[in-house]
Structure 1
């Protein structure tokens, strides 16, 4: 896919959502989001051992205000607002999620559901909201099988 095709895809809110992608596409996705003037946030879950660390990483990456409560409901509320981070669209790159997914499958599933709901909510406002979870090709293949 060319850079122009990627930008066209990301600019379309109707297709936005939460998706697993090949980690080799991360740089191209980030560059395409930046070219669209999207708020691009990289969330590194590599050292996250629990829900509190995951929420802190997301909050830091998206510059959540001090009132962020650090729980799942507060995450959903904050993702649905983002008034402190105005942009024509949003791209979250949730990197190194595999370890936390393996350690806390139910927590990961909750996070994925909240991210997907946020994308749906933004889509109803005609704003692109992408959550991309880059994985190594072999992990991505396992998910597809």
Structure 2
């Protein structure tokens, strides 16, 4: 993991930097996303399996009822966050989409074979929001974990080829 940066700086560089995934020490104080960033929180304890992950993301990002609960549908809706948040509420386009995963050491813990797929999709979504939206937007994932689990979480992501930044949020 690299040196620690602020959440603002991480999001600024998430679109073109080496990583759109960051880790932070889980604290009782909530994450305060920068202005203009759509922000949601998923509890990794509620996303230990693929089906639970789909349900958790569908709930917090308000996927429509016809969400199919499969890989292709997840990809479609994760690349449609702008239509589900900005246009539906008739507000200016977000400058970023940030999902915090609390208890991230538990994320997909019951289905480790799925973890690599999920982890490696983050850059796919990042590239979509950077390259396909006008104006472009940041896409990032913030992993929060207890202090004694931070190293484990970082190593797990690195083991599947995903770089993780350290964030002081």
Checking the alignment, whether the CA contact within 8 Å between 2:11 and 2:140 is kept in structure 1 is: yes
Partners of 2:67 and 2:73 within 8 A in 1: yes
Corresponding residue for 2:26?
24
Q: How far apart are the structure 2 equivalents of 1:72 and 1:57?
A: 14
Task: Give distance in 2, aligned partners of 1:9 and 1:64.
Answer: 26
Aligned position for 2:37: 38
Measured in 2, the distance between the counterparts of 1:8 and 1:81 equals 24
- Residue 66 of structure 1 and its aligned partner are, at CA, apart by 1.7
Deviation track 1:56-111 (CA, whole Å, cap 9, x = no partner) reads 00010101112211111111111111211122211100122322443221112211
Structure 1 residues 109 and 17, CA, compared in 2 at 3 Å: closer, same or farther? same
Moved over 4 A (4+): 25-28
Determine if the alignment matches structure 1 residue 84 to structure 2 residue 91: no
1:104 maps onto 2:104 in alignment = no
Report the TM-score when normalising by structure 2: 0.69
Q: Per-residue displacement from partner, 1:16-54 (whole Å, max 9, x unpaired)?
A: 8542412337856x31x2x32211010112133421111
Q: Quick check: 1:39–1:89 contact (8 Å CA) kept in 2?
A: yes
Q: Which residue of 2 aligns with 1:58?
A: 57
Uncovered stretches (5+) of structure 1, i.e. residues with no partner: none
Moved more, 60-69 or 93-102: 93-102
Gaps of 5+ in 2: 87-93, 160-169
**How many residues are paired up?**
140
Work out the CA distance in 2 between the residues paired with 1:84 and 1:114: 20
Deviates more, 1:133-142 or 1:103-112: 133-142
Q: Is the 8 A contact 1:16 1:128 kept in 2?
A: no
Measured after TM superposition, the shift of residue 129 of structure 1 is: 0.7
Q: Which has the higher helix share?
A: 1
1:7 equivalent to 2:17? Answer no
